[in-house]
Chains A and B, each alone.
Chain A
Amino acid sequence: MLKVSIYRYNPETDDKPYMQDFEFDTQGKDLMVLDVLEQLKGQDTTIAFRRSCREGVCGSDGLNMNGKNGLACITPLSETVKNNQLVIRPLPGLPVIRDLVVDMGMFYAQYEKVEPYLQNDNPPPAIERLQSPEDRAKLDGLYECILCACCSTSCPSFWWNPDRFIGPAGLLQSYRFLADSRDTATEARLAKLDDPFSVFRCHGIQNCVNVCPKGLNPTRAIGHIRNMLLTHAT
C-alpha cells in the first residue's frame, strides 16, 4: 500500500493547514499522481485540486510532490515516490485558497508586467508579418511555456519578492518577445527591466530548470536578457 499524505486546508473550517494520510492500493500499476488524486477524491470528495486536460498541456495541476514541483498528470509514481511515500502539497510561496488550490494572482501580475504580446508600430502588411525560419528558430524553447507556475514557485527569489521579481516564467516570456524579430518594442521592454529586482534578483540557482515539466530553460533566457541589457547599455 502506498502512503499518500495530502495537504489540507479549508479556511472556512480549519484554523490551520494539516496533512491528511491515505492508504492507496496502486494494484501494481505505475499511475500518474493525478490518477491517485482523482481516486482519493472518490474516497473523500472534499479534496480540492485543479486539473483540466490531464496530459501536461493546460498547466492546471502544478503541485509539489515529495518536495519537487511538477504537473501531477504527467508525473508517474515511479518518478516521485520514495520509501513508498507520496507527500502532496500545493505550489510553495503562493497563498492557499483551499487544499491544493493556490491563488495565482501574484504570478499572473508578474506575467502581465512583461507585456507578453507582440508590439510592432510599423504599418501591418497586407497579409501577415513574415519571419525567416532562422528568426523563428530563436523562439524555440521560449514559446512552449504553459504557465503552470512550477518554475516561479520553486524559486526562492520569487518566494521572497513575488511582488518585485518577475520570476522565471515571466522572464522566459519576456525574452520570447525580446528575441522576436517582429517585435519593435525591444528598447522600451529593456528599459523596464533594468532595476535590481525585475531581472537581477535571479541568482542563477536553476531550480526553475530543474522542475520545468516542458524541459525549458528560464535561466538561459534570463542570461540572454542580461546580455541584451549589457549590450544596450553604455
Chain B
Amino acid sequence: MVTAVTSFGRSGLSDWLVQRVSGVILLAYFLFMGYAVATGGDYASWKALFAQTWVKVFSLMALLSLAAHAWIGLWSVLTDYLTERLMGTTGNVLRITLQILIVLVLFVYVVWGVQILWGY
C-alpha cells in the first residue's frame, strides 16, 4: 500500500473510476459542442442554446469533469517523472509546487466557468 495525499480521490480505484466517467462525459460534451457549432454558429443561436438550463448544467458537468480529469491525469504524469527517486529533494519540491499550481488553475477555471455560464 502506497500512501498518496495529493491525488484526486486518495484512492487508486476512485481516481480510475472518476477518470473513466469524466472521460465519457467530456466525449459526449465535445460531440454535442461539435454538433452545435456545425448546425448553427451565429450569435443568436449560440445565445439561445446557452439560455437553456440543461445546456448550462451539461456545460458545468463537463467543466467539473475536465477539472477532475486534468487533475488525475497530470497528477499521474508528475508522479511518474518528478520523483524523489529520480531527482532527489528537487523532485519533491518541483512536483508539489506544480501540483498546487495545477489545482489552483483548475479552481480558477471552474469558478470562472460558472460565472460565464450563469452571469450573462
Contacts and interface: CB of A to CB of B under 8 A. Distances in A.
Interface of A: 156-157, 160-161, 163-164, 191-201, 203, 226, 229-230, 233
Interface residues of B, number: 19
A234 to B, nearest CB: 11
Given A160-B83, A200-B12, A230 B2 contact: no
A157 B79 CA distance: 10
Given A196-B7, A197-B2, A157 B12 contact: no
| Of listed B2, B11, B83, B86, residue having the most chain A CB within 10 A | B2
Given A200-B16, A226-B16, A195 B83 contact: no
B83 A229 contact: no
B15 A192 contact: no
Given A195-B3, A195-B4, A197-B4, A230 B17 contact: yes
Nearest to A226: B16
Given A161-B79, A193-B1, A230-B17, 10 more contacts: A193-B12, A194-B13, A195-B1, A195-B4, A196-B4, A196-B12, A196-B15, A196-B79, A201-B76, A230-B13
Interface of A is mostly: loop
Nearest to B8: A196
B80 interface: yes
Contacts of B81: 160
B12 A197 contact: yes
A164 B83 CA distance: 11
B86 to A, nearest CB: 7
